[in-house]
Amino acid sequence: AQSVTQLGSHVSVSEGALVLLRCNYSSSVPPYLFWYVQYPNQGLQLLLKYTSAATLVKGINGFEAEFKKSETSFHLTKPSAHMSDAAEYFCAVSESGDSSYKLIFGSGTRLLVRP
Amino acid sequence: DGGITQSPKYLFRKEGQNVTLSCEQNLNHDAMYWYRQDPGQGLRLIYYSQIVNDFQKGDIAEGYSVSREKKESFPLTVTSAQKNPTAFYLCASSGLVGEQFFGPGTRLTVL
């Protein structure tokens, strides 16, 4: 069965510092991987996706993620945090052969940005 | 603009009452999904539909029902059998490679 683990329910960084949010997955087939961002009382917005093309994926707002098959990881990074990055981030996985495109979500990481 | 709309934004339910949450999309997507989100938790799948007039249970379907009479619409009914319905409900539809696009959500509170 697929699963997603996000290490750290809360991550705090200073403005301008590197952002690193961790995501590990388990899947018996090649996965599709996604990162979403959620601001308070809003829906989820897609940041980026990995669908078996380039292993380094660039997304919106300066975020990127690298798919590492050997480590079953898909960590999200941003070189320099902005105050506007404070939000909750979710990693999700689906199986490439699953036509239902069901997503399995991690429990989320809340990013706090200190001035 | 293409997108997903959910209504109402806030909904209050009395004990023993059924309520229906609306979800509409104009993205021409075949697949649609309903999720429940509780504080500090990820999203849990309630129901999904890959095509009109067909839908499947997700991980937490008990106490919920859905219909899919039109491609654009996928309403969710929270029945009186759902004993703990207070949560944030999110509707989504799926694009070409499975990325899901989400609506703004409905916050349901039991009085």
Q: A105 near B58, Cβ under 8 Å?
A: no
The answer to whether residue B107 neighbours chain A at the CB level (below 8 Å) is: yes
Query: What pLDDT, on a 0 to 100 scale, did the predictor assign at position B86?
Result: 94
Residue B105 with chain A: CB contacts under 8 Å: 41-43
Average pLDDT over residues A43-69: 92
How much is the pLDDT for B95? 75
pLDDT tens digit sequence for B10-32: 999 888 899 999 999 999 999 99
High-pLDDT (> 70) share of chain B, %: 96
Q: Is residue B1 predicted with pLDDT exceeding 80?
A: no
pLDDT given at position A30: 77
- For residue B93, which amino acid is it? S
Phi (first) and psi of residue A26, to 5 degrees: -130, 135
Q: Inter-chain contact B40–A107, Cβ cutoff 8 Å?
A: yes
Q: With 80 as the cut, is the pLDDT of residue A9 above it?
A: yes
| A97 contact residues in B (CB cutoff 8 A) | none
As a whole-number percent, the residues of chain A with pLDDT over 70 amount to 98
Mean pLDDT (whole number) for B59-67: 96
Using the predicted structure, report yes or no on whether residue A29 has a pLDDT greater than 80: no
- Tell me if chain B has a CB within 8 Å of the CB of A61: no
What pLDDT is stored for residue A6 in this prediction? Answer: 96
- CA distance linking residue B18 with residue B36, whole number of Å: 17
Q: What pLDDT, on a 0 to 100 scale, did the predictor assign at position B42?
A: 85
Of B50, B88, B103, the CB nearest to A100: B50
Q: What percent of chain B has pLDDT over 90?
A: 79
Predicted confidence (pLDDT) at residue B54 exceeds the cutoff of 90: yes
Nearest CA in chain A to B6: A43
Which candidate, B86, B89, B111, places its Cα nearest to that of B102?
B89
A87's CB contacts (< 8 A; 6+ apart) are: A37, A38, A39, A40, A110, A111
> How many A/B residue pairs have CB atoms within 8 Å?
64
- Overall average pLDDT of the B44-56 stretch: 94
Q: What is the pLDDT of residue A46?
A: 95
Contact residues, chain A, for B43 at CB < 8 Å: 44, 90, 103, 105
Decide if pLDDT at B75 tops 90: yes
The answer to whether residues B76 and B64 touch, using CB atoms and an 8 Å cutoff, is yes
Q: Note the pLDDT tens digit of each residue in A70-111.
A: 999 999 999 999 999 999 999 999 876 677 778 999 999 999
Stretch (H or E) spanning A5: strand A3-5
B87 has pLDDT over 80: yes
Average pLDDT score, chain A = 92
Look at residue A96 in the predicted model and tell me its pLDDT: 65
